[in-house]
Structures are given as C-alpha cells and as structure tokens.
Amino acid sequence: MNARPGQSPRPAPPPPVPLHVERRSGADPVHTRLLLLHGLASSAAVWDETWRRPPAGLEIWTAELPWRGDHVRPWSHDTQQPDWIEAALDLVPGGPDVVVAHSFSATLLLASLSARAAAGDDLVRRYGLRGAVFVAPFYRRSPDDFPWDAMAAMQDQFLHVMGEGIRTRSGKRIRPDLRRNMTERVCERVGAYGWLRFCDSYLRTPWLHTDLITLPSLVTCGSEDFAVRESELLAADLPGARLHLFEGCGHYPMAERAQQFADLVGTFLDDLPDGPVPPGPAADEQRSVPCPTTP
C-alpha cells in the first residue's frame, strides 16, 4: 500500500515462519520428551484435549508445521523443501524420545525413517529415539492398491477427514450445512498444490522400507476411520509395532477419545526400554525455523 504524502511507508510484514516448536508442558526431572506432529491443514491445537495434566517426568513439545492451516498454501508452492520432520526433531533441545505423528505427518515420519535407515544413517541412532506413535497414518502396500479411480475416492475421503476435524473441534454447535461450507473452505485453502503434495507422499508408501523401521512403534486409529485397514497393514509391516483401534471413533482419536488416547500412549511409554535423556541446552519455550529455508 502506498503511503500518503508526508507519511512514511508501512513496513512489509515479516515473512511467515514455516516451522515453530513450543514446549507445552514439563518439569524436571525429565524422563521422556514427547514431540507431537499434526496433520495437513491442521495445527498443534489438535492435541489440546490430551495431556492437560501430563504425568511427572513427561515433557511435551508441539510443532506448528509448514502444512498447518494458515501456512499450507505457501508451503505447497515452495519448490525448495527440506525434510521438515528432521527439522522439527532438531528444534527439540536434547532431541525427542518419542514422536507422535498424526495423519499426513505420520506418513512423512515413516518416509524419513525409511529413507535414513536405507541410507545407513538411522534417525533412531542420530536422535536417540525410543519409540514412535503413528496416528491414523496413510499407507498402502502395493502400487496396485492405487487404481485409476483411486484419486477420485481419495478426494472424497479427504473432504470427509477435513469435515471430521471441524466436527471434533466444534462438537454439535455448528449446523451441518455451515460445517460443510467450512470444510469446503479448508479444502480450497489446501488447494491443488497442497493436495498433490499429499497425494505424492501417499502414492510413495508402497516403496517404504518398513522392514528397516525397527524402533518400538504404536499404530492407532479409530475403527470408523476410512483408512483403518491401512493402519492394520502398517502395524503388521513394522517389525516392532503394536496396533490399537478406538471403537466408534474416526480420524481424530486424540480429540474424540482424549483421555483414552493419553492413557494408551502412557502405557506405550511405560513399556519402552529405559534410556537416559541426554542433557540438552537450556530448554527454550519456543523455537522456530525462519523463512526462507533451503534444504
């Protein structure tokens, strides 16, 4: 906007921060650091209902990822894409012990673990990871599982998932017609580029080296999730995985079954092998990767 005569021009707004990690809870002594990763067009708020009173020794970090709702378009248009999963791990002081990833981020976490393991540079050793939780992941075993008409079905499923996210956050306070309009707006915000980035990651899952991802894992989703069969297959293909389905629940068990979800993950953490948490630098409350970022 041009300044009026005699006025100084307004400064340009700062560029958006593509990646932001924040400590949500925790106190000394720390036994386990947990990093929570949200899905496409979502935000860290998706975890708000869980761990309102985290148990002693649990330090919780949440990430606002580049594919969050208010940043998904610039992320999807950027041709210079680093491994954002590793970038988020780097921002947690001392590194996380366990990563909990939902939906699209669960698929990206699988891809990062697979690629590094296949290259002989295992993320588990690099960060000292003790476990991973994959919540409602997208995963198919074979390229033949993506027939020609799969794209149309996936688009309908994506619309349903976005609507489910709005429903779980708003409850019954929003009329169905208004919720449908809001869902369509979210999909418009994702746009063709964001949708194609999601599809590209999903279509590559048959080539994941799941046999090399050996860290203890929990795969979980709702029994009413359209991709429940994919969670079952992934749990079968990961050597160190267990499966849990939340009955009568959809794509967002952390919101629909918050206490049960927290208890389930707590049990998973209790069963992990003990390992010392290396002391990191003073745990800043917030850490970010500024824009622009190059790989």
d(CA 208, CA 112): 9
Distance, in Å, from the CA atom of 47 to the CA atom of 24, rounded to the nearest integer, reads 10
Cβ atoms 87, 65 nearer than 8 A: no
Encode the chain (295 residues) as per-residue pLDDT tens digits.
445 555 656 655 555 668 999 999 876 778 899 999 999 999 999 999 898 878 888 999 999 999 998 899 999 999 888 999 999 999 999 899 999 999 999 999 999 999 999 999 888 888 999 999 999 999 999 999 999 999 888 888 888 888 877 777 766 667 777 777 887 888 888 999 999 999 999 999 999 999 999 999 999 999 999 989 999 999 999 999 999 999 999 999 999 999 999 999 999 999 998 754 443 444 456 666 654 443 3
Residue 33 structure tokens: 């650091």
* CA neighbor of 15 nearest in space, from 289, 294, 295: 289
Q: Are 275 and 97 within 8 A, CB to CB?
A: yes
pTM of the model: 0.87
Domains plus CATH for the chain? 19-274 (3.40.50.1820)
CA triplet 148, 153, 154: central angle to 5 degrees? 100
